[in-house]
Each structure stands twice: as C-alpha cells, then as structure tokens.
Amino acid sequence: MTDLEAARAFFRMAPFMVDLGVEPVAVASGRMTTRLAVQPRHRQHTGFVHAGVSSAMADHTMGAAAQTLAPEGHWALTADLRTSLLRAAQGERLVCEAVVLKSGRTLAFTEAEVFVERDDGTRVLVMKASATMALATHVRAVAAAEG
C-alpha cells in the first residue's frame, strides 16, 4: 500500500476514520500523512479539538504507515499507544505525519506528529505520539469482507 489510492481505500475500510473525516494525503514506504478538516463535532466543551480526535488520527495514521511495510496477509494492530499533548489544538485542519522507526517480523515501532493548520498558513505542533504495532495474521478485515 504505497500509492495514495490504496491508502484511501485502506482508510475507507475503517468506519471510525470515515466518520471522523481523516483522509490520507501522502504515502510512501513506512510513511503516511493524513488530514482532517476540523468540524464542530470534533471540538470539546472549551472549543478546542478533542484530544480523542487527535489521538485516534495519530493511532490510525501510524498503523497505516506500519501497514505499508507489513508482510502479505498481516495487519498492523495497535499494541501500545502513547500520546503527549503539547498544546490545545485550535484551527481549521489537523495534519498527522507518521513514520515507522523499525519494522520487524511481528512488531513495528512508529512515531507521529499532529499539527494544527490555520487558514493564515501557520502550522503548530500540538501532539507527539508513538505506538507499537503488532503485525498479526488471521485478522479479518470487516469492511473488506462485508463490502
């Protein structure tokens, strides 16, 4: 999955990512970049983007980056997820850039940065994340199997 259309199809298989509005905008071997247009439903009571939105975006983007290197018949599943919120996210878009640091036979180690982008062109780092992805077999892709 190192072409953009395949990455978009992969994200469409995850109903939660579709509901959030997370979309891949760039992909390469061991790398994935996604974007989310911030909507009122993404905000929490103070008006900032909910941390759960940023965390879910980072998690799935890191998993997709790991998936680009996964052996045939394997799926990247989150085994460990860590996030650090650096500042409140307030802006028009979130952009997540994820990279695989090391991919082995059964585990992939990933990192991500989430930025808020504003219409005035400013881009601010709002979250750092890391995840260990288990590369599992015998996992049924529900959306693909039902579609």
Distance, in Å, from the CA atom of 133 to the CA atom of 78, rounded to the nearest integer, reads: 5
Give percent of the chain above pLDDT 70.
Answer: 93
Q: CB-based burial of residue 111 (10 Å sphere; 0-12 exposed, 13-18 middle, 19+ buried)?
A: middle
Write down the pLDDT at residue 142: 55
Domain ranges of the chain: 4-146
Handedness of CA 85, 86, 87, 93 (dihedral sign): negative
Q: What would the pLDDT profile of 24-68 be if each residue is shown by its tens digit?
A: 999 999 999 999 999 999 999 999 999 999 999 999 999 999 999
Q: Which CATH class is domain 4-146?
A: alpha beta
